[in-house]
Amino acid sequence: MSDVRQPVLEPGLAGARVLVTGGSRGIGRAICRRFAAAGATVVTTYRVDDDAARRLRGELGESCHVLRADVTRRADLDALMERVGDLLGGLDVLVNNVGVDGHAPLAALDTDEWDRVLDTNLTGAFDVTRAAAPLLVDGASVVNIGASVVIRGLPGKAHYCASKAGLTGMGRSLAKELGGRAIRVNTVAPGVVETEPGAGLPPVLYERLTASTALGRLADPDDVACVVTYLAGPAASYVTGATVRVDGGI
Ligand code: NDP
């Protein structure tokens, strides 16, 4: 095995119609690239960063439509689903990837900050799923991007962990609700992902985080994207209501 981090492309996704929220950068971008490489047609969204959206369009060309839509604005989501309907006619895969981070100890965690994180990570994902539901075909797959920190908890992350734990619970319930139509709903729970290698993290923290993993490295966005495309594809046709940790064994 030359490179264990370059698994084969997920088979069975050629021609799949995919919506990924927040695909202009980071993990979402890796997910869009992997679906496009597998032959899927992708619609993805962003909120403000037009430059990143332009770069992704340049990178993926006609296999990817990059649209502006804020998941916290229901009017944006209605307009988005209308465009998705026009462009794709239906959805085989929905990936709820949008999420914002937050750090605030309890004494500093005011309602505005709580709402900012919950409105985006949990209510936003719910609103996207509800708006997309009429487009989801029988046998479709929904993948929500949670976070493995939910299992352990972390000081200053009460709002972030609450939002991702909520998302995980929402996914399990929807898996039961939609299973009759063979629609599967799963959660991918990343650990620490290096979305911009070397940027942002002080060296001491970087060392500590790296050492906390069993594999001795942080995740690459593609480590997460591989698991998303696996769960979306036919190889995972009996996997639903599951949470898959992609955290290097933290
Ligand atoms: P990034 O911050 O790198 O990218 C977020 C993406 O979401 C961008 O495309 C951004 O667009 C878009 N976005 C943000 N807010 C909104 C909104 N309100 N409406 C529409 N789009 C929005 O995120 P990551 O790649 O780091 O994370 C992706 C997911 O993975 C998140 O759910 C995150 O919680 C989860 N995760 C990440 C980890 C990590 O270590 N990075 C660890 C565990 C989980 P724009 O730039 O235009 O705002």
How many domains, the chain? 1
Whole-angstrom distance, CA of residue 98 vs CA of residue 92: 19
Q: Distance between CA atoms of 137 and 152, rounded to whole angstroms?
A: 36
- Alpha-helical segments (H) within the chain: 26-37, 50-60, 74-88, 111-118, 124-132, 149-152, 158-178, 203-211, 221-232
Atom of ligand 1 nearest to the CA of 25: 9
- Is residue 125 one of the residues assigned to a domain? yes
In a domain, 5, yes or no: no
Q: Is 32 touching ligand 1 by the criterion CB < 6 Å?
A: no
Q: Report whether 180 contacts 151 (CB < 8 A).
A: no
Residue in 46, 160, 206, 230 annotated catalytic: 160
Residues 6+ apart with CB under 8 A from 7: 226
**pLDDT (average), residues 36-43:** 96
68-85 pLDDT, tens per residue? 999 999 999 999 999 999
Residue 250 lies in a domain: no
Q: What is the pLDDT of residue 8?
A: 60
Amino acid at 247: D
Sign of the C-alpha dihedral computed for residues 140, 222, 227 and 78 taken in this order: negative
Q: How far is CA 77 from CA 2, 34, 80, in A?
A: 43, 24, 5
Let me know if residue 121 belongs to a domain.
yes
The response to whether residue 49 sits with its C-beta less than 6 Å from ligand 1 reads yes
Summarize the confidence of residues 125-147 as an average pLDDT.
98
Residue 137 has pLDDT above 80, yes or no: yes
Q: For residue 88, give the 3-state DSSP assignment.
A: helix
Domain that holds residue 177: 17-245
Q: Examine residue 196 and state whether it is found in any structural domain, yes or no.
A: yes
Residue with tokens 């981070």: 101
For 188-197, how does the pLDDT look when each residue is reduced to its tens digit (9 = 90+)? 999 999 998 7
Protein residue with its CA nearest to atom 7 in ligand 1? 22
Give yes or no for residue 122 having a pLDDT over 90.
Answer: yes
Asked if residue 30 is part of any domain, the answer here is yes
**Residue 66's domain is classified under what CATH number?**
3.40.50.720
pLDDT (0 to 100) of residue 200: 74
- pTM for the structure as a whole: 0.96
Whether 160 is catalytic is yes
Helix (H), strand (E) at residue 45: strand 41-46
Ligand 1 proximity of 163 Cβ (cutoff 6 Å): no
Radius of gyration of the chain (CA): 17
Query: What is the rounded end-to-end Cα distance, in angstroms, of the chain?
Result: 24
CA of 127 to the centre of ligand 1 (A): 16
CA distance 13 to 60: 16
Identify the pLDDT of residue 4. Answer: 46
